[in-house]
Amino acid sequence: IDALISKVLEMRRENPQAKGLVFSCFVKLLELCQYHLKARGITTFIIHGSIPLAVRTRIIKAFVESSASDCSLLLVSISAGGEGLNLQRASHVFVLDPWWNPALEKQAIQRCHRLGQQQVVRSHHLISENTIEEQIKALQEKKQLIFDGTIGGNFNGALEKLTIADLKFLFQL
């Protein structure tokens, strides 16, 4: 949470009009972040699966239409907001915890990388050292190599980078 607050304060120092999306797999973590951000005077909106769709739509509209000084962050449960949203108003994406599926995480980041985006989009992956998060991130990279080497058609050494141990891990052999 401290790392997120630090990054958000840096974002606001660099550009007071900047807005960001904060993604997590865990609603409780988002709620905890919201509490700590509010204590620092940073107003946020939050959406997750327990919020009815009509309310989510109003929250998203309010986020998009508000000024950065009124609300600079939208906290989003990756399962509730990872796909189907257009949030070009945001130029920073903060991923608090990696998801097993790298495509889902990539979709979440693409929420603000849409037609009409006027700013450079920056993604920040806040991963704690010596935790399972590092292992999940490594797994994501291995999955991406497999995708690139097969479905993606990018055969430029992608599959050669995988070891027997990687394949055993991926297929749990």
pLDDT at 23: 93
Shared domain for 120 and 147, answered yes or no, is no
Q: What is the mean pLDDT of the chain?
A: 82
The CATH code of the domain that includes 11 is 3.40.50.300
Q: Is a pLDDT exceeding 60 seen at residue 86? A: yes
Shared domain for 139 and 111, answered yes or no, is no
- If you average pLDDT over residues 72-82, what whole number do you get? 83
Assign 133 a pLDDT band (cuts: 50, 70, 90).
Answer: confident
Shared domain for 56 and 111, answered yes or no, is yes
How many structural domains is the chain composed of?
Answer: 2
> Each residue of 14-51: pLDDT tens digit?
999 999 999 998 999 999 999 999 999 999 999 999 99
Domain that holds residue 112: 2-125
Shared domain for 66 and 140, answered yes or no, is no
| Long-range pairs of 40-46 with CB within 8 A, sequence gap ≥ 24 | 40/5, 40/9, 42/5, 42/8, 42/12, 42/72, 42/73, 43/70, 43/71, 43/72, 43/73, 44/71, 44/72, 44/73, 44/74, 44/75, 45/71, 45/73, 45/74, 45/75, 46/74, 46/75, 46/76
> Each residue of 116-126: pLDDT tens digit?
777 888 999 88
Shared domain for 111 and 162, answered yes or no, is no
Shared domain for 121 and 137, answered yes or no, is no
Shared domain for 153 and 114, answered yes or no, is no
Indicate the pTM of the whole model. Answer: 0.78
pLDDT at 102: 75
Shared domain for 56 and 114, answered yes or no, is yes
